[in-house]
Amino acid sequence: AAGVIQSPRHLIKEKRETATLKCYPIPRHDTVYWYQQGPGQDPQFLISFYEKMQSDKGSIPDRFSAQQFSDYHSELNMSSLELGDSALYFCASSFDRGPHQPQHFGDGTRLSIL
């Protein structure tokens, strides 16, 4: 079965640079979620999109932005990168008709800031 695809798997950037992370959800899933997992931490919700519209926002810095495109893929854009942005970034997708559907995660993008 098709899974959530994230790219790149690994990304190394320097401070103050920009980064773009991509996510391709499972076909027919209508909702995409982005999470940030710092070292030794639990994943924290950043932002979500339902049918290409932003549906919820969590602890996402103003330096970050995201969007979902007509083909349902999503991109997380990160600017003025800081050392603290080093983390594992997950995209998850689900077919949301309530809180009872599991979210399926991609393998994540490991972002390292030097």
Query: Which residues sit at the interface with other proteins, rule CB under 8 A?
Result: 30-31, 33, 35, 42-45, 48, 50-51, 55-56, 58, 88, 90, 92, 94, 96, 98-105, 107-108, 110
Nearest distance in Å: CB 100, other proteins: 5
In whole angstroms, give the CA distance from residue 18 to residue 13: 8
- In terms of CB distance, is 27 or 40 closer to other proteins? 40
Cα 78 from chain centroid (whole Å): 11
Report, in Å, the least distance between residue 40 CB and other proteins.
9
